[in-house]
Structure 1
Amino acid sequence: MPRDHIWQQISSLLGSAENSITLIAPFIKKDTFKEILEIVPAGVEDIRCVTRWSVPEIAAGVSDPEIIDLMEFDKRIKIYLCHSLHAKLYIADGRCLIGSANLTGKATGRVSASNIEVLIESETSHQEIQRLLATVEAHSIVATSDLAQQLREQADLLREDDDAPMLVVPEQQEPSRRWMPETRRPERLYQVYNGKYGSVGSDVLAAVLRDLAELDIAPGLSLEPFKEAVRGRLLLIPELADLRDTGRLNMKDARDELIARSGCTSEQAQRSVETLAEWLWHFDEVHLVPVGAWEIRQGREIT
């Protein structure tokens, strides 16, 4: 089997299209996308692309938001983002290929150190293909040039930060450590998430970007869904189990548990617990109660 067998499969399918094509892949590199467009017959009227833009992945170099630039030269292209996307599916009219290969040089066999991939041909009418398409459509948003530029800028800043978490590519590698909030300014998260950080100091910005990289929240959310996503991730932190399960958390107990779990000093653990309290105050409905050691309790305090 030739090294570029996957590329030959994709080329053959898309080259036979008459009306429309759909490209669904989490990772799409601009050079590979350009080569795809050269294959698509001129008579095809619609080119629909669904992908995933995540700041850590862009920083790691596996995905290029710059594919949005190609829309300026080919008005048939429409690009959508689906943050939970893992499937790889390529459709030409009523036929499709489904399998493991992204639209990258390594996945398609266009570079020497290529991946081992598989694509299986199927009819688009297959019930599982239809289920996948419906799910992807329900969870997708329209990609824009502004969003592409914003995510690229954040990815570049993350790459320049020596203290940033290791750039982990989801699907390929598990994080080496669990996340605890770093920034003491959680109110800055949504501002930076939206690319508005001209007035944010460099130290605060770096910490916020590191937290956003660990959170890896879908782009383009409005404020309330963003806060809900952060809140959901916070409540997965083991030290907050009591708050999640009983509605209250003793801060001394949380500090002691953090010391036992991570081996950090008492001072470090105290700072982490105080930071967690700041985040919970901003993203959740909680209040502090001076009962022995202070407690965090669910619900806003009525004054």
Structure 2
Amino acid sequence: MKRKVFSQSLGEHLIDMARGATEEVLLVAPYIKEGTLKRVLGPISGECSVRVVTCWNLRAVAAGASDLGVWELVRDRENHVLELCPSLHAKYYRFDDICVVGSANLTGAALGLTGKPNLELLMRVSPAATEEFEEELEDCVAVTESMYSRYQKLLDQYEDTHPEIVRSSDTYSVGPESVRPGKERGEVRGSGERSQYIRSRSPEWWIPKLRHPEDLYRVYAENSEHLTTATRKHGSYDLRHFDLPEGLEEGAFEVEIRWQLLQKPVVQEVDALVSESKRFGAVRDHLRTLPCAQNDGFDPTDAWQAIMRWLLYFFDDRYRRHEANYSEIFVREE
């Protein structure tokens, strides 16, 4: 079969659309390379607001699928924001009211901006068909300088324990996705134009159930001979909310957990709240106002006790707890 030769690559089409945007740009892709994002952002007007949504998966970043450095590109520009969505798989680009969706990530190979392009697809859709999808992005976690610095440290730790990893400049092969425990396959919702929208699951406002996070690795490693039935049950529940490969050593396991905890909405909420010292009751009352309060069996006191223990265990250099005037005081020290 003879291949057609196109005058422009997918990347050049995106850059042309970026050049024409005047009000709002939304770039959504699991994998984003710094150089590719820089080319797309380059022609966008300084008066245009830009929102970039991606998914920083530890193993993918370590292997070169995505660059943490995209934060520096966004941070240094007016009206730009970078957000994280751990369950993201969609590739979606909107320039004002022009929307394209398809298979291509924001990488040179995916967009045909390198010498060895992937075979990819992007197609234009009506903005009305993607309204619900954009609503699902409302619970994304905004990247901050503190979070970025923490991720840099965790990445260094991970690479120290995985010397076999060789970073790729741009090409990263992603195998078939598996459906993790607790993650349902997507179903079509709505009718007409909206039937194009597929939702795999609701935004996650997870609260840990395991009250002793030091037991989490033993549950993961199935070394649970001396654990109670409740500990095994609660540990298994919590593990279903993390994307973990099999066979991790304990050190690598804890780096993975720390990395993914930073993207949990409830952790980000608490982290921001305790930038100044807060009494136990103040954090507990704040949890009542969050979407996690709609979880089955939610109890704000139990929830805050569990979250506090997880933060003190996995981020012992970031948080401090002490007692004063018959109350526990919790604060972020960084």
TM-score, normalising length: structure 2: 0.52
TM-superposed deviation, 1:209:
2.7
Query: Structure 1, residues 77-128: CA drift from partner, whole Å, max 9, x if none?
Result: 11111111111111111111111111111111111122111000122122xx
Return the match for 2:81 from 74, 78, 82. 78
Matches within 5 A, 1:120-131: 120-126=123-129, 129-131=130-132
The match for 2:70 is 67
Alignment of 1:96 onto 2:99:
yes
SS at 1:65's partner residue?
Answer: coil
Which structure's residues are more often helix, by fraction?
1
The match for 2:51 is 48
The match for 1:17 is 21
Note the residue ranges of structure 2 that are not aligned, 5 or more in a row: 179-216, 225-248, 271-308, 311-334
Return the match for 2:250 from 190, 207, 225. 207
Relative to structure 1, the CA distance from residue 174 to residue 88 in structure 2 (aligned partners, 3 Å threshold; closer, same or farther) is: closer
Relative to structure 1, the CA distance from residue 223 to residue 30 in structure 2 (aligned partners, 3 Å threshold; closer, same or farther) is: closer
Alignment of 1:108 onto 2:120:
no
The match for 1:181 is 221
CA distance in 1, matches of 2:154, 2:94: 32
% identical equivalent positions: 23
Matches within 5 A, 1:102-181: 102-126=105-129, 129-138=130-139, 140-162=140-162, 171-172=174-175, 180-181=220-221
Relative to structure 1, the CA distance from residue 172 to residue 145 in structure 2 (aligned partners, 3 Å threshold; closer, same or farther) is: farther
Query: Structure 1, residues 23-58: CA drift from partner, whole Å, max 9, x if none?
Result: 11111111111111112134x420111111122111
Note the residue ranges of structure 1 that are not aligned, 5 or more in a row: 185-205, 227-281, 284-303
SS at 2:26's partner residue?
Answer: strand
CA distance in 2, matches of 1:181, 1:125: 46
CA distance in 1, matches of 2:103, 2:128: 20
- Note if contact 1:47-1:76 (Cα within 8 Å) is conserved in structure 2: yes
TM-superposed deviation, 1:71:
3.2
SS at 1:74's partner residue?
Answer: coil
Q: What is the count of residue pairs matched by the alignment?
A: 201
Relative to structure 1, the CA distance from residue 32 to residue 21 in structure 2 (aligned partners, 3 Å threshold; closer, same or farther) is: same
CA distance in 1, matches of 2:79, 2:152: 24
Return the match for 2:41 from 33, 37, 40. 37
SS at 2:17's partner residue?
Answer: helix
TM-score, normalising length: structure 1: 0.57
Relative to structure 1, the CA distance from residue 125 to residue 155 in structure 2 (aligned partners, 3 Å threshold; closer, same or farther) is: same
CA distance in 2, matches of 1:159, 1:3: 41
Query: Structure 1, residues 260-280: CA drift from partner, whole Å, max 9, x if none?
Result: xxxxxxxxxxxxxxxxxxxxx
TM-superposed deviation, 1:2:
4.3
- Note if contact 1:50-1:82 (Cα within 8 Å) is conserved in structure 2: yes
Matches within 5 A, 1:242-281: none
CA distance in 2, matches of 1:87, 1:12: 21
- Larger Rg computed on CA atoms: 1
SS at 2:51's partner residue?
Answer: strand
CA distance in 2, matches of 1:116, 1:86: 18
**Counterpart of 1:115 in structure 2: which amino acid?**
N
- Note if contact 1:29-1:104 (Cα within 8 Å) is conserved in structure 2: yes
- Note if contact 1:158-1:210 (Cα within 8 Å) is conserved in structure 2: no
**Counterpart of 1:76 in structure 2: which amino acid?**
N
Relative to structure 1, the CA distance from residue 60 to residue 163 in structure 2 (aligned partners, 3 Å threshold; closer, same or farther) is: closer
Cα RMSD (Å) = 3.8
- Note if contact 2:53-2:83 (Cα within 8 Å) is conserved in structure 1: yes
CA distance in 1, matches of 2:66, 2:7: 22
SS at 2:99's partner residue?
Answer: strand
Alignment of 1:5 onto 2:30:
no
TM-superposed deviation, 1:224:
11
